[in-house]
Structure 1
Amino acid sequence: MSKDCYYFTHDSNAKDDPKCVLLIEQLGMEGYGIYWMLVETLRDQPDYTYPVANIPALARRYNTSAEKVRTVVYNYELFTVKEDRIFFSESLNRRMQLFNERRAKRSEAGRLGNAARWGVSQTHRNAMAMQSQSLAIKVKESKIKKLSNESKESADKPRNGTSKRTAFVAPEIEEVKGFFLTICGTETDAECFYDHFTANGWRAGRNPMKDWKAAARNWVRRKPDFTNVKTSSHESKRTYEPLD
């Protein structure tokens, strides 16, 4: 076991962080101790994450309650929880990324020193340096970046688990004509469809439209059900009933 196996940096004024101040106010120093227990536990893990399901066992090990540990994990924005499956500390990840980069540089300096001692050519030493440094940094950063990206994606999703929808953009008439030509071999109804939904503000019933192509397919399917509803003393004109 190397002497820096479990090393990580620790700010001396961490207790004055507003999040920690609130934690201490509500849970006392026991809560603050639970926080650092969790950080140290994460540091021990190969990818700096810990399963949420193991919180009760962790609480028993350190003679506290699972409820208090969950409160520290979930309530103070000190940790990021991913899909109620794992949690991690973005602050710890940033610190460990810097630490691993420095360690990789020191290790490479040692390799270059040994290479010089044994007479390896300068060209070979440069190639070794570039290859090993790039590999070390990429390997260490890959898991941290992946977790950070997944955390952002998870934050963008509504809490009920549904996917976030993009804003609806009304199509141009030429785009509508092209789509009608594709689905029914003619663009005869395209202008009628376009004029109807332009007039009603591109709404499906009372709700904003989400997919105009789906509405167009529905329009074509319901065409046999359309009725003539408007006439005048001089001429009758065929109109279409609104689609929901």
Structure 2
Amino acid sequence: MTEKAAAPAAPGLDLDALEATARAAAILAPGDWFWRGYTDYEEPSLNCIVPSKGRVEILGHVPVDREAGSFEADLHLRRFKDLFSLSTTEEDARRHMDEWLWADRDYEVPNTDSRLSVTDERNVKQPVRDLAVFEVARHRGLPDETPRTHSGIHRGEIVDVRNPVARHLAAASADTVLALIGRVREQSSAAEKVLELHDTIWYDQWKHEVYSDQGYGGRCCLCLVFDGAACDTVLALGGFPDDE
């Protein structure tokens, strides 16, 4: 019989921080999350049902128009000129940028790029890259909202995304969930052992008094058996059963 893999130990779990990110995400995206999509016409997306709003796309994609003068446009033009520096002319560069920018120049229909998106507090899909927190900004003490176009942001590595759902997805990794499950199971197992000894170990069910005058070092009998946490664990899980 194959043994189940043990859940990873989690001595460094910050439960307060994890709870904070989960509560913030739950405000935007309560209830169950589920995948949906019709791949013949659209990209799959992660969704939930929000009362009074209906289905909300938590994580998906949004088309973004290409714009002249944007950071992406300037970067594309520089790369084009660097690649063809010996043969390109200004007219070549202009024509290349027109092809990059426009699906139909005559009707002013721009080309678009599909961007990963998250839903914000207004229930509006926002490109994740527009909410990025750049590593350089954190190192230099700049605000998290500092854009890539800022003179102090010389490279594009990011370390965070300014959105509750995005932060929750990053915080609730598979290892974190397994560690939480392991912790809950350990406490449940300890509580079950205490209840099994209910009829064999004497304790004061109501007062949880200390017995230092009897040589127990300030702890009740159950806490002596379970390293000082038994009664607190049982009480947190609903308390001891009533004596018959």
Specify if TM > 0.5: no
Q: TM-score, normalised by structure 2?
A: 0.24
Larger Rg: 1
**Higher normalized contact order (CA 8 Å, seq sep 6+, divided by chain length):** 2
Higher normalized helix content (fraction of residues)? 1
Structure 1 or 2: more strand by fraction:
2
| TM-score, normalised via structure 1 length | 0.24
